[in-house]
Amino acid sequence: MALSEIDVLVIALVAVSAPLLARGLSRWARVPIVVFELALGILIGPSLLGWVQPGVVSERLADFGLALLFFVAGNEIDFAVVRGRSGRRAATGWIVSLAAGVAVGLLIAPGEAAVVIGVALCSTALGALLPILRDADLLPTPFGRAVMAVGALGEFGPLVAISLFLGGRDIGLASIVLAVFVGIAGLAVFAAARVPHRRLHAVVTSTLHTSGQFAVRVIILILAGLVALSLVLDLDMLLGAFVAGVVWQLIMRNAPEPDRQQVESKVEGLAFGVFVPVFFVYTGVTFDLASLLGDARDALLVPVFLTLLLVVRGLPSMLSAPPGSSGRERVAMAFLGATGLPIIVAVTSIGVAEGILRPGLAAALVGAGMLSVLLYPLVGMALQGSRRRDVVRDPAADDQV
């Protein structure tokens, strides 16, 4: 077998091992599977054992996994949440986070590097939080809806910031290009929301259990189309992936509930069973441990950035806590809001590729993001867990003032 095929085989083996390790440790601690995927990726990568090297095939599979992760996040967005009280407060909190992140970035690195640091610190890993909230049966609760609002702004906001400030364009031209994307994407969203889809739903229903699998094929088409549009306009591909998830959700919102659940199950199987694990394992493989350990100052920045994620992103996230939340729940919101990784990986990759960010500084940010995925959901869920059974499931609670 060629080297790239062996790499894919080892990555697949790691992807299978990760949930087994998580299950084996579950009696002592509920560690997110992504933590094992990242750690094992570092172990098999060039930083340690050297069994897997960064390559074109693995990189493309990882890119598709990242795109699917953002597609699922867009598909999960509850528009009532975004429009409601939590959404308004989440938007305010994200703007505060961006301003604070850039201000902190200026103290650490000058110029455009400060923008990279600011965008990284104002992100929230909604795609990583959704499975945790779903497994804890929290998504339908006011607390879960508030976390979803924080995560939605923490993923979509940084993507817009990347498109405006880190595309290598003048801010005016970048705004025009982004406006073109928003216009085209807006038409797609309008068509998905307003055009009847009864015939499409009928085809979806008739092919759910056949080799046709029309729904999955349409999803890939929408995802590929909007990602291609992002790339043609020289925007971050994740912007298109996120909007593709929103479009698909609107297309299927009036479909029969059993069919919607079946399609979502298929998409989750494709994403979290195949491609998303490849992304996280490959992120570990490409993690520049040598650059991080080569300079003691960069290594010391890992706990600094981990703390800054909690201060810059976590504290403003507390604004979105549902009315009547306890102190523990508000602190839990801070820890969950401060969980970040995919955007950090994306923005630091751009920064290093464009010569804006030193590899060691990028590795410190990614390392902090990895630790945030490991530690912050554990702390947040532990703080919130004692109140979980007492939360009233009230879909209208989000709109209360």
Least confident of 83-87, 226-230, 285-289: 83-87
Decide if 119 is inside a domain: yes
Residue 65 token pair: 């996994």
Give percent of the chain with pLDDT exceeding 70. Answer: 93
Decide if 317 is inside a domain: yes
Decide if 35 is inside a domain: yes
CATH of the domain at 164: 1.20.1530.20
Range of the domain at 218: 3-395
Decide if 401 is inside a domain: no
Residue 276 token pair: 């998303």
Q: Are 346 and 279 in contact (CB under 8 A)?
A: no
Q: What is the pTM of this model?
A: 0.84
- pLDDT, one tens digit per residue, over 245-262 is 999 999 998 888 898 889
Q: Are 336 and 317 in contact (CB under 8 A)?
A: yes
Q: Are 344 and 396 in contact (CB under 8 A)?
A: no
Cα(129)–Cα(253) distance, rounded to whole angstroms? 23
Decide if 400 is inside a domain: no
Residue 196: per-residue pLDDT = 84
N- to C-terminal Cα separation, the chain? 62
- pLDDT, one tens digit per residue, over 262-271 is 998 999 899 9
Nearest to 350 by CA among 167, 97, 111, 99: 167
Q: Are 324 and 78 in contact (CB under 8 A)?
A: no
Does 102 have pLDDT greater than 90? yes
- pLDDT, one tens digit per residue, over 204-228 is 999 999 998 999 999 999 999 999 9
Decide if 65 is inside a domain: yes
Does 393 have pLDDT greater than 60? no
What is the count of structural domains for the chain?
Answer: 1
Confidence of residue 2 (pLDDT cuts 50, 70, 90): low
Cα(12)–Cα(170) distance, rounded to whole angstroms? 42
Q: What is the CA radius of gyration of the chain?
A: 20
